[in-house]
Structure formats: structure tokens, C-alpha cells
Amino acid sequence: MKHRKLRAIGFNALGVIVFVAAVFPVFWMVSTAFKPDDEIFSTTPHPVPAHPTLDHFSSVLHDNVAEVSFWTYFRNSLGLALATVLVSGLLALLAATAVARFRFRFRTTFLIMLLVVQMVPLEALVIPLFLDLKKLELLNSLGGLVLVYIGFAVPFAILMLRGFVAAVPKELEEAAAIDGAGPVRVFFSVLLPLVAPGLVATSIFSFITAWNEFVFAFTFLDDQDKATLPMMMQYFFGHNGNAWGSIMAASTLLTLPVIVFFLAVQRRMVSGLTAGAVKG
């Protein structure tokens, strides 16, 4: 009995260590963001700010980075992410319905294509997509970038959504059809409300994809007033390398929404990524 208790204490201690190691970098980011400069560069680091200050946040929100205000970066990032969510959500819902509700030729081919596409090294596609968008005169435009992000977000969104569509009992749709509802009506009145939670989870994933993306935005957007938050971070970090308080305040503003969203949907994300691998 005593042996078992000792073991439980040991495991819990390990759990605490893992928790601290996992959270510490993010904690340190937030903590630095609230510290006055003399504490940040003090020879004895303080884990928690002794004299917390909002100076760094206010300087991020009010001073310009590369002559552009934080809110411009924020608006660009938010617009890109929302447009990606809307379009990729619609495309994914259509395709997920096809895959979950119908048997058709090329269905397996289509699913394999979705799997393969997720493994394509996106960084390798920067070069050709740069030239294509240049030809279409969509370079240096948020619209062109949204197109690219949709391509990245859709395959995973379909794989994630199809489980939700498949989980809606087909009998409900059949019952509605017998009552005289056409396919469009069935889709909007029966299927859509029932897959709504799945659609939300998928949307958050697409949102994060677009919100976090750096390489393509950095390469395709030239004008600073079209730049995104990750680009702002990179610029800030590269040009004011030692303004750690403000850099960490900006990082906090970029990161916390993602973490909150992420914790809300993680369960479904894991099942989307490895669904089936644990079926047993």
C-alpha cells in the first residue's frame, strides 16, 4: 500500500515538472511583457514582475512598427483569417458531405489526394505560387494570399468535417425528404444545424492556419500597410532586437487568442489528424 502511494506521488511530481516545462516559455513571455525595463535586464531575473507595468502594451498599441500601427497589422491578419475560414469552411462542408454521404468513383482517389496534399512541403511551393500570383497581378494583395491559405486549409478541414457529417444519422435526412423537403432544404434545415459544432471546430483550425502563417505573407506582401501580425513580429524582432518588453507584449497579443481557441477545439483536432489510427 505504501509502495503504491509513493508511486502516485512520484507520478504527480513528474506531472508538475512536465506542466511547468510546457507552460514556462509562454509564462516567461507574458511575465516579461509586464516587467519594466530595469527588471527585464536585471542581473537577478524575477519570475513575476515586482512592479508590473502596462507600458510595453501601450507602446505596442500606440507606437507604429515600420510606420504602420498595430491595428493595421491586426486588421489585415483578422481579415485574412476570416476570409480563409468562410471560404474554406464552405468548400469543406460541400466536399465532406460528398465523401460522408455518397459512394462514387474516385472517392478513394479524392481521399488519398487530401492525405498526400497535407504532406506537400508548402515552403517549396512559395516559388511557383509567387510567379503565378505575379502573372495574375495578385501579388502584394490580401486577396491573393487568401487564395493560397484556402488551399492550405481545405484538405484538413474536409478530413476533420467528414466525421461530423457521417455522425449525423442519415434517417433524419431521409425523414425530412419523405416529408417533402428538397435536397437544398434538407442540407440547410437538417444537416447544417447538426454539423454546426464540427464546423466551428474546423473553422477555428482554419483560422489558426491563416493567423499563424508567416512565409507566404512575408514573401508575397510588399507594402507594409498590408502586412500581417507575424510579419510585424519578425520586423520588430529584427529591428529592435533588444526591446524585449515590447516584443514580448506584441507576442502575447498575437499568441493568447490562438491558445484560447486551440484549447477549445484540441480534442477534435487530434481526432482529425490521427483518426482511425487508434481504431481498434
Q: Is 273 in the site for other proteins (CB under 8 A)?
A: yes
The rounded distance, in Å, linking the Cα atoms of 79 and 211 is 9
Alpha-carbon span 212 to 209, nearest angstrom = 6
Q: What is the smallest separation between the CB atom of 127 and other proteins, expressed in angstroms?
A: 5
Q: Tell me if 175 contacts other proteins by CB under 8 A.
A: no
Asked if 186 touches other proteins (CB under 8 A), the answer is no
Assess 188 for contact with other proteins (CB under 8 A).
Answer: no
* 63 forms part of the interface with other proteins (CB under 8 A): no
Residue from 82, 86, 117, 200 touching other proteins (CB under 8 A): that is: 117
Q: Which region among 60-68, 78-86, 189-197, 237-245 touches other proteins (by CB under 8 A)?
A: 237-245
Q: Which is nearer to other proteins, 38 or 179 (CB)?
A: 38
- Tell whether residue 126 is a contact of other proteins (CB under 8 A): yes
Site for other proteins in 8-37 (CB under 8 A): 8, 11-12, 14-15, 18-23, 25-26, 28-29, 32
Residue (of 237, 235, 249) closest to 56 by Cα position = 249
Q: What is the dihedral of CA 7, 13, 17, 22, to 10 degrees?
A: 80
d(CA 137, CA 139): 6
- The distance of Cα 35 from the centroid of its chain, to the nearest Å, equals 28
On whether the CB atoms of residues 149 and 87 are closer than 8 A, the answer is no
# residues near other proteins by CB under 8 A: 105
Q: Do 77 and 145 contact (CB within 8 A), yes or no?
A: no
Q: Is 225 in the site for other proteins (CB under 8 A)?
A: no
Options 53-61, 64-72, 193-201, 232-240: segment touching other proteins (CB under 8 A): 232-240
- 230 makes contact with other proteins (CB under 8 A): yes
Which residues between 32 and 61 bind other proteins (CB under 8 A)?
A: 32, 40-43, 45
Rounded Cα distance between 145 and 147, Å, is 5
Residue 228, helix vs strand vs coil: coil
Query: Cell numbers of 63, please?
Result: 507606437
